[in-house]
């Protein structure tokens, strides 16, 4: 069913946001695991700028194919990756 009112649109957005939170929690678990697997204290390995560039490029392509603005996807992934790198760094230092 397609939302017809502003309230219905907002409810649909809230529902999608709840799904995103669940997926981000799963991503966080994997990021923390990656941090524990990388050499302890190796900031370059944690930051992995080459991997970040690959991920951003891939997500831009996926976004375009899905009808999402690649610029929006890049901005979201840049912010998300920066936040997850901080968590991964903490996991790496605690390993």
Q: Is 46 exposed, middle or buried (0-12, 13-18, 19+ CB in 10 A)?
A: buried
Closest to 53 (Cα-Cα) out of 65, 64, 61, 41: 61
Backbone phi and psi for residue 5, each to the nearest 5 degrees, phi listed first: -115, 165
Residue 59 lies in a domain: yes
Residue 57 lies in a domain: yes
Counted domains in the chain: 1
Give the CATH number of the domain where residue 67 resides.
Answer: 1.20.59.10
Counting Cα atoms < 13 Å in the Cβ hemisphere of 95 gives 19
Residue 1 lies in a domain: no
Question: Is the pTM above the cut of 0.85?
Answer: yes
Q: What does each of the 95 residues of the chain score in pLDDT, given as a tens digit?
A: 899 999 999 999 999 999 999 999 999 999 999 999 999 999 999 999 999 999 999 999 999 999 999 999 999 999 999 999 999 999 999 98
Structural domain of 80 = 6-94
Q: Which two tokens stand for residue 82?
A: 């920066």
């Amino acid at each position: 069913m397609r939302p017809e009112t502003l309230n219905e649109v907002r409810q649909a957005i809230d529902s999608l946001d709840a799904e995103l939170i669940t997926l981000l929690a799963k991503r966080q678990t994997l990021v923390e695991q990656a941090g524990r697997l990388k050499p302890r204290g190796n900031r370059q390995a944690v930051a992995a700028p080459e991997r970040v560039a690959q991920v951003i490029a891939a997500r831009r392509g996926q976004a375009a194919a899905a009808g999402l603005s690649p610029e929006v996807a890049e901005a979201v992934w840049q912010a998300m990756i920066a936040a997850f790198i901080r968590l991964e760094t903490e996991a790496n230092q605690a390993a």
